Amino acid sequence: MRVALVDAGGANLGSVCYALNRLGIEPEVTADAGAIRAADRVLLPGVSTAAQVMGRLRELGLVDTLRGLDAPLLGVCVGMQLLYERSEEGEVECLGLLPGVVRKLPAAPGIRIPHMGWNALRRMRDSTLLDGVAEGANAYFVHSYAAPITADTVAATDHGSLFSAVVQRGRLCGAQFHPERSAATGARILRNFIEMDF
């Protein structure tokens, strides 16, 4: 199993790599289009802003590579947001692999933005991504923008309003939270993605 971890300059590359190592997986951290196309699984982590990460992907010539992938793709945090058509964060065009616009989390009394910390996953539909993950399991979030609830939403989280926490459309998957920082819940979702029969 060849697993490519796209090097889009995210600060969490090392921790995602270590999380995969704990599962017995040695990913290839790469910005090489050929290596990404040759992988059996591709992970797109992202930290900072949608505009910065999309800018980095454009600089590296990886936008069309990611749009044309045959292998299953898992976007993590900002990497999940980039799967959508557009983000309000910088009004940036994203990869357009999933329908929808990523919007700023709405302010509400007692709700802190950015959303930082542990929050429960609410299952919205069945997906192998959530095999072995209990209803209400907690995951660790750090974000100010989020994807809407759509037919692709596998699990949602409530922070002032509901947003997509786990998504899947065929071979395209995403986790808004940081699985590498989400203990057993995150490890299980990573393992499910690696082992799923797409």
Rounded CA separation 6/79 (Å) = 10
Rounded CA separation 157/168 (Å) = 15
Q: Which of 99, 110, 115 is nearest to 177 (CA)?
A: 115
Indicate the angle between helix axes 13-22 and 183-195, nearest 10 degrees. Answer: 80
Rounded CA separation 67/63 (Å) = 6
Retrieve residue 51's tokens. Answer: 């505009």
Active site residues: 77, 178, 180
Retrieve residue 176's tokens. Answer: 């808004």
Q: Is 37 left (phi over 0), alpha (psi -120 to 50) or beta?
A: alpha
